Amino acid sequence: MIRKLPFVLLIAILLGACAPTVTLLNQPATPLPTSPSAALPPPASVTRIPVPTHVPDLGIRPDMLQGVEVVAWEGWDGSSSRLFQQMAAEFTLSNKWGIKTRVVSKKNLNLLAGDVAKSLGGQEHADIVVALPEQILAWQDQVVDLSPYIAQPEFGMDTGGNSGFFWGQSLVNGKRYGVPSARSARFLFYNTSFARSLGFNRAPSTTDEFRKQACAANSFWKQDADLTNDGYGGLALDVNANWQTPYAWLAASGAMVFVDGEYRFESPENLAALEFISKLHEDGCAWAPAGQTNYDHLAARRALFITGSLGEFPDQRMAFAAIAPADEWTVMPFPGKQPVIVAYGPDYTILKSDDARQLAAWLFIRWMLEPQNQLRWSRETGLFPVTTPAIKLFETDGAANPQLAAAMALIPDTVIYPQASTWGMADKLLADGFLAYFLGIPNANLDDVLKTMDISIKDLTR
């Protein structure tokens, strides 16, 4: 299904095009990762979570929390919501402090955010909220800084082990507004069997290598007499809008969309990064498929690369099992100056109340982040665990699942996205603008699309 463009962006793009009608088209090298062990040692570029030199006084002790009830609001989907409720009930029955946890489920994260915003300043509001980092930043005046809780020696967390590839998103100006509850990520899916048949034994790590392999895959499909398949091969472009794909291409090239507190979609660096994909498309080395998904295209070798998330692994495996059971595939980062993956997902945050409720809320969050509980959560939801000890436990799952092992090995390549409460609007402009451009708006100019995005985000955030 093709998502509709935001009205402002669609009108502006169409006015900038010459044609009056819109035709939407249907839609040194790095070895392939084999083990998740590379995910564990933090690279030098990762900032360690700061540890206070003294233990902050929280104003209350855990042994004073008997009978304290905290309310957790969440917007998980059906099965994850049920699991969260079940685990909260288990915490209530088993925790040694006598804390009670009650869960209120919302239909989705957007409705959750709206309800939280309405509740702020009132007497009745959640203690714990499971929300996106950008949503949390909109409430930051009412959100507890979690750093003092993490620093507690008896019931805090080992920050040295959570140096964090997933933990940087909600650490803003020295304050920790949230801690990750779970993470997914966007990857390039790569048909390694197809690549080997083309003479490539290593995944591309630079854009030049990526282009070489993508164009070789397109050339393969031009060898027969059938002209109808000459557009296949290479990169199958996204068929649904998501912001993670264009953001990953931008980040891998060193480009940025949020600088000094302002969005700047139009810049020479951003234009050059996205023109790489545009040139691939123009040369036939990337193509816009029809249909709802690209899983079959990767399995049938109509594409050497597609993009996908952690939650799409089962669907991709099913496609290979049905079409090419002997073929192998893996996941790789987006190539560039710095190969990257974009991780995303909700955080736990605590809204300000009183010392007892805030500490009780933290103790529940800490329990949810214990390695065995994370392992259970990851196995049942298909999402990444978020601390190093849990990731180490999760290695056993990766040993039986090569794609998961490859994904875990890429955790050190994670980059954060703009730490701004307005990202929930900006990400939609990025997603829809990127998709619209490649869906074939007549005579659309990439620079004009980026200019339109700058104008639109200024209008939306004014």
Could you tell me if 257 and 426 are in contact, meaning their C-beta atoms sit under 8 angstroms apart? yes
Residue 259 lies in a domain: yes
The pair of structure tokens assigned to 156 is 């805090």
18 lies in the same domain as 91: no
452 lies in the same domain as 303: yes
380 lies in the same domain as 454: no
Which residues pair with residue 175 across a beta bridge?
Answer: 172
Question: What does the alpha-carbon distance between residue 234 and residue 214 come to, in Å, rounded to a whole number?
Answer: 4
350 lies in the same domain as 229: no
189 lies in the same domain as 273: yes
Judged on CB neighbours under 10 Å (0-12, 13-18, 19+), 217 is buried
pLDDT tens, N- to C-terminus, the chain (462 residues) = 333 444 344 444 433 333 322 222 232 333 333 333 333 333 333 334 444 457 888 999 999 999 999 999 999 999 999 999 999 999 999 999 999 999 999 999 999 999 999 999 787 889 999 999 999 999 999 999 999 999 999 999 875 555 468 999 999 999 999 999 999 999 999 999 999 999 999 999 999 999 999 999 999 999 999 999 999 999 999 999 999 999 999 999 999 999 999 999 999 999 999 999 999 999 999 999 988 899 999 999 999 999 999 999 999 999 999 999 999 999 999 999 999 999 999 999 999 999 999 999 999 999 999 999 999 999 999 999 999 889 888 888 877 899 999 999 999 999 999 999 999 999 999 999 998 888 766 567 899 999 999 999 999 988
Q: What is the CATH number of the domain that holds 441?
A: 3.40.190.10
**Where among 400, 431, 447 does a domain terminate?**
400
Question: What does the alpha-carbon distance between residue 250 and residue 393 come to, in Å, rounded to a whole number?
Answer: 33
Q: What's this model's pTM, rounded to 2 decimal places?
A: 0.87
319 lies in the same domain as 439: yes
130 lies in the same domain as 246: no
Judged on CB neighbours under 10 Å (0-12, 13-18, 19+), 172 is middle
Question: What does the alpha-carbon distance between residue 367 and residue 332 come to, in Å, rounded to a whole number?
Answer: 32
334 lies in the same domain as 359: no
Beta-carbon count within 10 A of 384 CB: 27
Question: What does the alpha-carbon distance between residue 283 and residue 301 come to, in Å, rounded to a whole number?
Answer: 19
106 lies in the same domain as 239: no
Exposed e or buried b per residue across 346-375, where buried means at least 16 C-beta atoms within 10 angstroms of its C-beta: bbbbbbebeebbbbbbbbbbbbbbebebbb
Which residue, 111, 433, 447, is CA-closest to 242? 433
Terminal Cα distance for the chain, rounded: 31
Q: Which residue has the tokens 């042994």?
A: 63
24 lies in the same domain as 126: no
Residue 406 lies in a domain: no
Q: Would residue 443 be called left, alpha or beta, if left means φ above 0 and alpha means ψ between -120 and 50 degrees?
A: left
Number of domains in the chain: 2
64 lies in the same domain as 126: yes
Residue 318 lies in a domain: yes
Contacts of 86 (CB under 8 A, 6+ apart): none
State the pLDDT at residue 123: 75
Residue 323 lies in a domain: yes
Q: Can you state the percent helix, strand and coil of the chain, rounding each to 5?
A: 45, 15, 40
Residue 405 lies in a domain: no
Residue 195 lies in a domain: yes
Give just the sign of the alpha carbon dihedral 152, 157, 163, 166: negative
State the pLDDT at residue 290: 86
Q: Would residue 339 be called left, alpha or beta, if left means φ above 0 and alpha means ψ between -120 and 50 degrees?
A: beta
Residue 41 lies in a domain: no
Q: Which domain holds residue 265?
A: 7-35+185-343+417-461
Question: What does the alpha-carbon distance between residue 27 and residue 94 come to, in Å, rounded to a whole number?
Answer: 51
Residue 47 lies in a domain: no
220 lies in the same domain as 306: yes
